[in-house]
Amino acid sequence: AQKVTQAQTEISVVEKEDVTLDCVYETRDTTYYLFWYKQPPSGELVFLIRRNSFDEQNEISGRYSWNFQKSTSSFNFTITASQVVDSAVYFCALVDSSYKLIFGSGTRLLVRP
Amino acid sequence: GAGVSQSPSNKVTEKGKDVELRCDPISGHTALYWYRQRLGQGLEFLIYFQGNSAPDKSGLPSDRFSAERTGESVSTLTIQRTQQEDSAVYLCASSLGLAGGLDEQFFGPGTRLTVL
């Protein structure tokens, strides 16, 4: 069965701190995709990244970076030099041959000025 | 339109009434998904359409929930005899339907349903 676990329910940091959001997943498939979505207070889901299971290269996009490690079934997300606008709920998700997105329970990030 | 649209954006109803939620996917997207997000929680998969057929209805929480899709376009999620526990944001997503379901899903803004 597929499962995504985001153990951190809520994280609070001060602006300019770095913060890492953890994501651990389970799937029996060898082909799958992992996603991160941001859900700001307005409620819409904003796509951040998609990573396929055959590409373990880490990715950096501006202040965002992602560390994918198949050996530990983890796909962690780091925000460098956090800003108040980064405050949101962040969801990690998995899609495999079952084609439905399986979401983690989300991590609420609060960045204080 | 450019993105997935949903209507209404907000719906308040009384317990026991039926409601219909509508989703307009991105033009050309053959796959359509419905998810539910209860307050403070993650998204739960409800149902998936490929074209007009629904190969997976496993996420529908009860027989009060049904969905249909016509013309490989608009989809309607119907909740009969609503209960207070149905209160949630209902999100629709669409995708090209390629690659065995591994393609990116684009989300609509959601319909916030409140059952009094």
Tokens of B84: 């207070």
Q: What is the mean pLDDT of residues B84-89?
A: 96
pLDDT-above-90 percentage for chain B: 72
In this predicted structure, the answer to whether residue B1 has a pLDDT above a threshold of 60 is no
Residue A100 forms contact with B (CB below 8 Å): yes
Most confident by average pLDDT, A14-18, A92-96, B51-55: A14-18
pLDDT-above-70 percentage for chain B: 96
Instruction: Name the residue facing B45 among A91, A101, A106 (closest C-beta).
Output: A101
Taking the alpha carbons of B113, B106, B75, B5 in that order, is the dihedral positive or negative? positive
Mean pLDDT of chain A: 92
Mean pLDDT of chain B: 91
Q: What is the mean pLDDT of residues B80-87?
A: 97
Whole-number pLDDT of residue B99: 65
Q: Using the beta-carbon criterion (under 8 Å), do A106 and B56 form an inter-chain contact?
A: no
Q: Is B1 in contact with B109 (CB distance < 8 Å)?
A: no
The residue in chain B having the minimum alpha-carbon distance to the alpha carbon of residue A34 is B102
More confident call, B100 vs A72: A72
DSSP letter for A101, please: P
The residue in chain A having the minimum alpha-carbon distance to the alpha carbon of residue B95 is A99
Taking the alpha carbons of B96, B101, B105, B108 in that order, is the dihedral positive or negative? positive
Q: Which chain B positions have a beta carbon within 8 Å of A98's beta carbon? A: 56, 101
Q: What is the mean pLDDT of residues A8-33?
A: 95
Confidence of residue A57 (pLDDT cuts 50, 70, 90): confident
Whole-number pLDDT of residue B101: 62
The shortest C-alpha distance from A18 to chain B (Å) reads: 24
